[in-house]
Amino acid sequence: MKTLLASFLALITLAWGWDTFYVTPPAQGALLWLIRQQALFLSGLWSIALMSLVMVLAVRPAWLEKPLGGMDRMYRLHKWAGILAISFAIMHWLLDMSSDLLKALIGKAGRPPKFDLAGLAELGRPLAKDMGEWIIYALIAMLLITLWKRFPYKFWRYLHRVMPVAYLGLAFHAVVLAPPWYWSQPIGMLLAVCLAAGTVASIVTLAGLIGKNRRVHGSITSIARPSATITEITCKLGSTWPGHRAGQFAFVTFDRAEGAHPFTIASADQHDGMVTFQIKALGDYTTHLADTLVTGQALTVEGPYGYFDFTRSDSQARQIWIAGGIGITPFLAWLESLQSEPADKHAADLHYFVRDAGADPFIDQLQSLCNSLPNITLHVHGNDRNNPVADAALFNTGISQDHSEVWFCGPGGLGDMLKKRFTNEWQGRFTFHQEAFEMR
Ligand SMILES: Cc1cc2nc3c(=O)[nH]c(=O)nc-3n(C[C@H](O)[C@H](O)[C@H](O)COP(=O)(O)OP(=O)(O)OC[C@H]3O[C@@H](n4cnc5c(N)ncnc54)[C@H](O)[C@@H]3O)c2cc1C
């Protein structure tokens, strides 16, 4: 993700640099004023380019899953690109505000003159400037509540819906106020591509078309409560459901007012439109979900998405599969899908971290699925809350191998701890795949 963001920004910087240092170098002026002007341009370019990327990722373009490593990673990219975009927007705004300070420090002499904007753009200048300023205030507020994890997700989601409108306002600001000579240079072409893509994505979002082609209606065929905190829901989906690969997830809407929530499809695809979700009470909606559902109820499923797919695994590497709590759901689908393959085709150690093994609803099912797969060994770890990764057995597994591949699904904190410990113990002789159950 870091490489991708850095490369994206490097491309923008290169195009800006080509124009600034080669094609149209700034006219004479005081150095500080010139630096301020170019920093203002560059921060604005970085910000709007990243925001365009954020908007494109927000429409869940499934064709980007392969190059970007799955929808959950795309959401992480969306989040961090958004945070960076707002940071550059703040920088842009501060640079704009800095003119009074510079005047006081070095005087007005040497300040580059305001460039003329073509026709209509000149008329739009005051509106574009004011709009940019007000939108930046709104974005700062949005950034703060996004980072403040205690702000309830359901309210955050409603506030987040204003982002396409904010984007269109900023696109107007950029079109009107960008230096007119940019439009005939590579930087202008890049900017135009970003703005066009971001604008289309914003319109798709505002029109409620996100994921429309991947939405399928269906109905609930059974509801079970395997434990006090887990609800198992099986559904029959309409004939347009394309099927799924084991480990994928879908956005499920049981109630239109509540909207869609992402859940892993915890069953293998049997080509009959049947899918099962195992849903843990993790928040306000999922806690009361079981009480609100009835068999036969209609639902909408959008998907499938995701790239947590063991068929991508490296056949030369030792396979270590690790689940924490409800992170077991993709592995349930994996194991079920393996039942129809030769029993010894895949070898792996499946480590399952649970809080209370005695009350866990999945251990029997896992054991029974593993019984017919002689090369898959199940290890259940009682979760020591203070040090869940202390279990030496986990780190001894595969230590003699040249390379191990770790597939992890579970709480982000546990994933980070494990990755750190593997890095210490195995010193780079592993690849770590992680499915994130968090989108904000
Ligand atoms: C790819 C993926 C796969 C998942 N698979 C499963 C699964 O198989 N079983 C399971 O029990 N849970 C799964 N989750 C987690 C599940 O989506 C959340 O627990 C659930 O949405 C919480 O909703 P809530 O209103 O009860 O909780 P809240 O208290 O409102 O939210 C808790 C957290 O859940 C996430 N969340 C809440 N609502 C949404 C939403 N509409 N869209 C995206 N994220 C949301 C946010 O990160 C939020 O901070 C998965 C999440 C992701 C991203």
- In our burial notation (b when 16+ CB lie closer than 10 A, e otherwise), range 377-393 reads ebbbbebeeeebbebee
Q: Is the CB of 285 under 6 A from ligand 1?
A: yes
Which atom of ligand 1 is closest in space to residue 260's alpha carbon?
A: 41
Residue nearest to atom 45 of ligand 1 (CA): 261
85-137 pLDDT tens trace: 999 999 999 999 998 888 888 888 888 877 777 777 777 888 999 999 999 99
**Confidence at residue 383, expressed as pLDDT on a 0 to 100 scale:** 61
Mean pLDDT of 130-150: 91
Task: Tell which wins on pLDDT, 30 or 400.
Answer: 30
Look at the block and give the residue holding tokens 């640099």.
17
Task: List the structure tokens of 339.
Answer: 């039942």
Q: CA 329, CA 252: separation in Å to the nearest integer?
A: 15
User: Probe ligand 1: pick from 71, 282, 285, 301, max atoms within 8 Å of CB?
Assistant: 282
Residue nearest to atom 34 of ligand 1 (CA): 438
Mean pLDDT of 329-334: 96
182-216 pLDDT tens trace: 999 999 999 999 999 999 999 999 999 999 999 99
**Confidence at residue 261, expressed as pLDDT on a 0 to 100 scale:** 94
**Confidence at residue 440, expressed as pLDDT on a 0 to 100 scale:** 64
**What are the helix (H) ranges across 271-349?**
284-292, 329-338
Q: Is the CB of 438 under 6 A from ligand 1?
A: yes
Q: Is the CB of 153 under 6 A from ligand 1?
A: yes
What value does the mean pLDDT of the chain take?
A: 90
Q: CA 4, CA 73: separation in Å to the nearest integer?
A: 12
Q: CA 402, CA 428: separation in Å to the nearest integer?
A: 10
Q: Is the CB of 261 under 6 A from ligand 1?
A: yes
Cα 242 to averaged position of ligand 1 atoms, centre (Å): 23
User: Is residue 427 predicted with pLDDT exceeding 80?
Assistant: no
User: Probe ligand 1: pick from 75, 225, 245, 263, max atoms within 8 Å of CB?
Assistant: 263
Task: List the structure tokens of 54.
Answer: 């954020």
User: Is residue 400 predicted with pLDDT exceeding 60?
Assistant: no
Q: Is the CB of 263 under 6 A from ligand 1?
A: yes
377-393 pLDDT tens trace: 999 987 655 555 666 66
243-301 pLDDT tens trace: 999 999 999 999 988 889 999 999 999 999 999 999 999 988 999 999 999 999 999 99
User: Probe ligand 1: pick from 302, 437, 438, max atoms within 8 Å of CB?
Assistant: 437
Residue nearest to atom 41 of ligand 1 (CA): 261
Cα 60 to averaged position of ligand 1 atoms, centre (Å): 17
Burial class (CB in 10 A: 0-12, 13-18, 19+), 101: exposed
CB atoms within 10 A of CB 360: 20
Mean pLDDT of 43-60: 97
* Torsion angles phi and psi, residue 2, rounded to 5: -60, -40
**Confidence at residue 387, expressed as pLDDT on a 0 to 100 scale:** 58
pLDDT band at 50 (very low <50, low <70, confident <90, very high): very high
The three state secondary structure string of the chain is: CHHHHHHHHHHHHHHHHHHHHHHCCCCCCCHHHHHHHHHHHHHHHHHHHHHHHHHHHHCCCHHHHHHHCCHHHHHHHHHHHHHHHHHHHHHHHHHHHCHHHHHHHHCCCCCCCCCCCCHHHHHHHHHHHHHHHHHHHHHHHHHHHHHCCCCCHHHHHHHHCCHHHHHHHHHHHHHHHCCHHHHHCHHHHHHHHHHHHHHHHHHHHHCCCCCHHHEEEEEEEEEEEEECCEEEEEEEECCCCCCCCCCCEEEEECCCCCCCEEEECCCCCCCCCEEEEEEECCCHHHHHHHHHCCCCCEEEEEEEECCCCHHHCCCCCEEEEEEEHHHHHHHHHHHHHHCCCCCCCCCEEEEEEECCHHHCCCHHHHHHHHHCCCCEEEEEEECCCCCCCCCHHHHHCCCCCCCEEEEEECCHHHHHHHHHHHHHHHCCCEEEEEECCCCC
**From 311-315, 367-371, 436-440, the region with the lowest mean pLDDT:** 436-440
Which atom of ligand 1 is closest in space to residue 152's alpha carbon?
A: 30
User: Is residue 39 predicted with pLDDT exceeding 60?
Assistant: yes
Task: List the structure tokens of 116.
Answer: 């003329």
Give the sign of the dihedral formed by CA 70, CA 71, CA 72, CA 75: positive
Residue nearest to atom 8 of ligand 1 (CA): 264
Quote the DSSP letter at residue 97: H
User: Is residue 329 predicted with pLDDT exceeding 90?
Assistant: yes
Burial class (CB in 10 A: 0-12, 13-18, 19+), 121: middle
Cα 279 to averaged position of ligand 1 atoms, centre (Å): 9
pLDDT band at 155 (very low <50, low <70, confident <90, very high): confident
**Confidence at residue 397, expressed as pLDDT on a 0 to 100 scale:** 59
User: Is residue 370 predicted with pLDDT exceeding 60?
Assistant: yes
Task: Tell which wins on pLDDT, 440 or 260.
Answer: 260
CB 42 within 8 A of CB 16: yes
**From 181-190, 247-256, 312-321, 364-373, the region with the lowest mean pLDDT:** 312-321
CB 238 within 8 A of CB 273: yes
Q: Is the CB of 329 under 6 A from ligand 1?
A: yes
Q: At what angle do helices 186-206 and 31-58 cross, to 10 degrees?
A: 40
Residue nearest to atom 47 of ligand 1 (CA): 438
* Torsion angles phi and psi, residue 216, rounded to 5: -130, 140
Distance of CA 296 to the CA centre of its chain: 33
Q: CA 230, CA 281: separation in Å to the nearest integer?
A: 6
Residue type, 181: W
**Confidence at residue 153, expressed as pLDDT on a 0 to 100 scale:** 84
Mean pLDDT of 426-434: 82
User: Is residue 344 predicted with pLDDT exceeding 90?
Assistant: no
**Confidence at residue 384, expressed as pLDDT on a 0 to 100 scale:** 57
**Confidence at residue 392, expressed as pLDDT on a 0 to 100 scale:** 60
Helix (H), strand (E) at residue 8: helix 2-17
Task: Tell which wins on pLDDT, 112 or 348.
Answer: 348
Burial class (CB in 10 A: 0-12, 13-18, 19+), 17: middle
